[in-house]
Structure 1
Amino acid sequence: MNWLKTIAAAALLQAGLFAGAQAGENLDAVKSAGVLRIGTEGTYAPFTFHDASGKLVGFDVEIGQAIAAKLGVKAEFVEGKWDGLIAGLDANRYDAVINQVGITEARKQKYDFSEPYIASKAVLIVKQGNDEIKGFTDLKGKTSAQSLSSNFGKIAEQNGAELVGTDGFDQSIQLVLTGRADATINDSLSFLDFKKHKPDAPVAVVAEQKDADYSGVIIRKGEPELLAAINKALTDIKADGTYQKISDTYFGQDVSK
């Protein structure tokens, strides 16, 4: 039966080589089809969601459209649930995922990332007029509204805060606004989105962590031409003002760093 194993091994090797060749040629395939297929959730405002008319919109959606335009093709969005979104690359459901996918070492083992296109930082938020909290260390002995299992909650605890449990950003902000919590540590992008919609809300960021978490466009490994083209597109949309315009629309400022 050894000959059967030999044939099977040869078939697997040939399939692997064929898949690798296909992957390397994917930029040509994208341009030939005239479409960049992009995986996204469609349920994650303000990044990818449906507006009142049902149209797919959002920061990530417009970034995807701008990248596709620089490649000379159209963006075609394929929606899916987060749990299986990245795995859809393996199944060739799309060419890339643009959905606030954080760049991590674990993910980089299996996939390739573009250069970062958005940055998120932990920020300390208080009600306007609160002069007692000016930095993270001032949380000692204060209450901080947090999702108890979040990294933000851990930061608050490490700085001596007493946690008030919440279900997420919106509830945390409300507790700060109503005085039931002294502060909240939360995501800078969520805060900017909140202030974009409620500019008069009397809350403010008084401190931010230096280290940021970055997200990038994620694609299959073995597609260096496509990766280079996406990176060039990102560089170009930042240089020509497209990125700034999209960023201003959703966050009111540049969120690339």
Structure 2
Amino acid sequence: MGRASGFGLGLVLVLALTGCSAAAPDRAASRLDEVVERGELRVCSTGDYRPFTHRDESGAWRGIDIDMARDLASRLGVRAEIVPTTWGDLLDDFRARCDIAVGGVSVTLERARHAAFSEPYLEGGKAPITRCGEVERFATLERIDRPGVRVVVNPGGTNEEFARGALDRATVIGHPDNNTIFQEIAEGRADLMITDAAEARWQATRDPRLCAVHPDRPFTFSEKAYLLPRGDVAFQHYVDQWLNLALHDGTYQRIARPWLGAG
């Protein structure tokens, strides 16, 4: 009887383990498989942060990261569906509606609490952009943080977070449209903006009235990466492998060249 009981217990354990093994693939399903089965990569982006992401008046999407997301979708054999969001709603929209978020997304610890990041593809930091005659006036944070200096920010992102955290005496002005915010500086309604060095460089090439202030020596260190679902190792690994290849086989340089003049 003892032997029979032992046999019965062993059979129960085998069946239990077999059942666990059979269910494991469903529990371990990755966004990688879901995207392929769906035939669509859902990409969150703000559309207001050139050269990384831009949505024009007709609704067409362009930019380095938009084209990179399309390349990723092509490698997966699916189409890319761009989902518009804002910097303030980025995390919520990403978790509810998207597989990946792109468009000059800075790696921050706050974002890392709610999502994962790909390997970084660009290093930079915060640097000012101002009218060309004011470059020396705003060369340091000490010179910027003075009464009467008007610093314009786009709400909800790391630019506003930095400005409000670093400046006590300067006036920080919110401007809701990041596509027109640089006109505020060029036309004298604001004195400067502190943004990512890559954006400062690019915007300075678009308007001869504007100059980036020491973009090679930014105030901070930051990295750009793609936002990914937290805990999905398979999908993150695939994106990292794709990105590594794209950075070394000429794909990223080809996509970035029209925007940055990169070699």
Question: Which structure has the larger Rg over C-alpha atoms?
Answer: 2
Note the aligned Cα RMSD (angstroms).
3.9
Quick one: distance in 2 between partners of 1:79 and 1:138? 37
Quick one: distance in 1 between partners of 2:113 and 2:88? 18
Counterpart residue type for residue 170 of structure 1 = F
Quick one: distance in 1 between partners of 2:214 and 2:205? 18
Indicate yes or no: 2:75 matched with 1:63.
no
Aligned residue runs from structure 1 range 4-153, under 5 A: 21-22=26-27, 24-41=29-46, 43-46=47-50, 47-91=52-96, 93-125=97-129, 127-128=131-132, 133=137, 135-136=139-140, 139=143, 144-147=149-152, 151-152=162-163
Quick one: distance in 2 between partners of 1:89 and 1:22? 21
Residue 7 (structure 1) aligns with: none
Taking only the aligned residue pairs, the percentage that are identical comes to 23
- Segments of structure 2 that go 5 or more residues without pairing to the other structure are 1-22, 154-159, 176-180
Conserved? CA contact 1:132–1:138, under 8 Å? no
Taking structure 2 as the reference length, what is the TM-score of the superposition? Answer: 0.66
Number of matched residues?
229
Residue 9 (structure 1) aligns with: none
Conserved? CA contact 2:127–2:212, under 8 Å? no
Residue 163 (structure 1) aligns with: 170
In structure 2, do the counterparts of structure 1 residues 89 and 123 end up closer, same or farther at CA, with 3 Å as the change threshold?
closer
Residue 20 (structure 2) aligns with: none
Secondary structure of 2:98's partner? coil
Secondary structure of 2:170's partner? strand
Q: Deviations over 1:32-55 (max 9, x none)?
A: 4443222234x4242434334432
Residue 12 (structure 2) aligns with: none
Taking structure 1 as the reference length, what is the TM-score of the superposition? Answer: 0.67
- Segments of structure 1 that go 5 or more residues without pairing to the other structure are 1-17
Indicate yes or no: 2:225 matched with 1:227.
no
CA drift at 1:114: 0.7
In structure 2, do the counterparts of structure 1 residues 35 and 146 end up closer, same or farther at CA, with 3 Å as the change threshold?
same
